[in-house]
Amino acid sequence: MKKIIYFLSSLVFCLIFFITPVSAQAEETIYFFYGDGCPHCAKEEAYLEQLTHDRPEIKVLAFEVWKNRINQSLMRAVGEALAADVSGVPLTVVGDNYLIGFLNAQTTGRQIEAYLDQCADLGCEDVAGRIIEEKFTPQNNNSNQNVNSNTQEEQAKKSLLPETIGLPIFGEIEVKKFSLPILTVIIAALDGFNPCAMWVLIFLISLLLGMANRKRMWILGSAFILASAAVYFAFMVAWLNILLFLGLIIWIRIAIGLVALASGGYHLKEWWVNREAYCKVTGSEKRQRIFARLKEITQNQKFYLALGGIILLAVAVNLVEAICSAGLPVVFTQILTLSDLSSFSHYAYILLYIFIFMLDDLLVFIIAMVTLKAVGVTSRFSRASNLIGGLVMLILGILLIFKPEWLMFG
């Protein structure tokens, strides 16, 4: 009897195991809203491609929103349903969870995977899928709207600029690799030729030329220039990291575009009104205090106290005078964040900017130390920098607001 019961139990178990269908692993969908040319989006695109390769049960639906108005409407509708501010890309939606921006696979990528696992274990509402079905599918809507989704393999990247240009001697040059270095040199040179960047150095040189110790002259002057460069480098790196952290939020980009327009208008006004091209940021009283302090520092008999004082004064002066040209470095760092560059390339371009920015100061200092005569940049050059700088800033401001893809290099 026991054998019969054991046999029947085994038979029932086998029937249950073989007859009951084993449900396939549920397919999870990632809705990926991106901008064509957005470097953060490109990083996430590469991550999602690897993710779908490692986990075939995951499907990615991608929607380009900068050029496709219907996809823009879909992203806004999804944002309203999720109570999310969808003013920036990339936007990633998994069920009823969302992420804005993409840093790397170790941070943002792990959060995406956590949302996928959460939906697989506990279930979650497919918010974007429901909105697509209700509002953007033709059979459920009298309009002819239909979202334009692409898999990662189907996305076609089209550039608005020519791939290459032919130049004499140089031959075929890739535009996007060639343009950013030139733009860097232009903006940095315009930033360097401003009256606020030179007057302290000229007065310092006049004090140094009265010294008998040539070695002390070179060290104190070089320390001032290096400290000034370090302050500007730190300022630009800080801006770069803030913008990289915020990602490609459209309102940040538009705000910086407006700053560029305001800066351009100010420089053109200065070109027209300020014929002497003098610095208005530091008035005569402030200048006299700085001159007195500089004279006191350079005449200090203790070398290391003089050196420390020169460095601290350079830091303080350059922080104050950043008001003169803050628009240029801020706009330049925004262009860097728009470009598809590595972290090393970001800092390399900032170093190039600093070198070009400090080049006029460096040349003035070296010539003065060699010839023992104080020289400087004439007001004619400063006025010209206001005119050219104003026009360049106006163009960059317009592009940042209306055509940011034209400023995406790499």
CB 294 within 8 A of CB 203: yes
**In terms of domains, do 317 and 387 share one?**
yes
Whether 2 and 32 have beta carbons less than 8 Å apart is answered as: no
* Distance of alpha carbon 112 from alpha carbon 298, whole angstroms: 58
Examine the fold and report which residue of 154, 179, 204 is the final residue of a domain before the chain moves on.
154
Examine residue 22 and state whether it is found in any structural domain, yes or no: no
- Please, are residues 348 and 223 in contact by the beta-carbon 8 Å criterion? no
Cα–Cα distance for residue pair 323/331, rounded to 1 Å: 14
Q: Which of 104, 124, 154 corresponds to the end of one domain?
A: 154
Least confident piece of the model among 251-265, 278-292, 335-349: 278-292
Asked if residue 193 and residue 108 are part of one domain, the reply reads no
Coil, helix or strand at residue 55: coil
In a domain, 217, yes or no: yes
Number of structural domains found in the chain: 2
The verdict on residue 86 lying in a domain is: yes
Q: Is the pLDDT of residue 30 over 80?
A: yes
Average pLDDT value for residue range 262-281:
72
**pLDDT over 70 (residue 27):** no
Same domain for 400 and 364: yes
Q: Are residues 187 and 325 located together in one domain of the fold?
A: yes
Is the Cβ–Cβ distance between 354 and 184 less than 8 Å? no
Tell whether 6 is covered by a domain.
no
Mean of pLDDT values over 59-67: 88
Assigned domain for 9 exists: no
**Residues with Cβ within 8 Å of residue 398, at least 6 apart in sequence:** 257, 261
Within 274-326, where are the H helices? 284-298, 303-325
pLDDT > 50? residue 20: no
State the Cα angle at 198 between 196 and 202, rounded to 5°. Answer: 135
What is the distance between the alpha carbons of residues 127 and 125, in angstroms, rounded to a whole number? 6
Task: Lowest mean pLDDT of 108-112, 163-167, 200-204, 239-243, name the range.
Answer: 163-167
For residues 211 and 21, which has the higher predicted lDDT (pLDDT)?
Answer: 211
CA pair distance 337, 333, nearest whole angstrom: 6
- Determine how β-strand 97-100 pairs with β-strand 171-174: unpaired
| Range(s) of the domain holding residue 79 | 28-154
Q: Are residues 248 and 200 in the same domain?
A: yes
Domain assignment present for 323: yes
Query: Between residues 56 and 165, which one has the greater pLDDT?
Result: 56
Do residues 103 and 211 both lie within one domain? no
Asked if 173 and 198 sit in the same domain, the reply is: yes
**Domain annotation covers residue 15:** no
Q: Are both 70 and 187 inside the same structural domain? A: no
Give the pLDDT score at 380: 63
Q: Is the same domain home to 52 and 141?
A: yes
**Which pLDDT score, from 0 to 100, does residue 160 have?**
38
Out of 154, 175, 198, pick the residue that ends a domain: 154
Q: What is the mean pLDDT of the chain?
A: 75
Q: Going by DSSP bridges, is the β-strand pair 58-64/28-34 parallel, antiparallel, or unpaired?
A: parallel
Please tell me the distance from the alpha carbon of residue 380 to that of residue 277, in angstroms, as a whole number: 8
Q: In 3-state terms, what secondary structure has residue 395?
A: helix
pLDDT surpassing 80 at residue 84: yes
Residue 3 lies in a domain: no
- CA 303 to CA 295: how far, in whole Å? 14
The CATH number linked to 108 is 3.40.30.10
DSSP of 127-172 = HHHHHHHHHSSGGG-SS-----EE-GGG-----SS-SEEEETTTEE
Is there a single domain that holds both residue 149 and residue 212?
Answer: no
241 and 139 within one domain: no
Do residues 106 and 177 share a domain? no
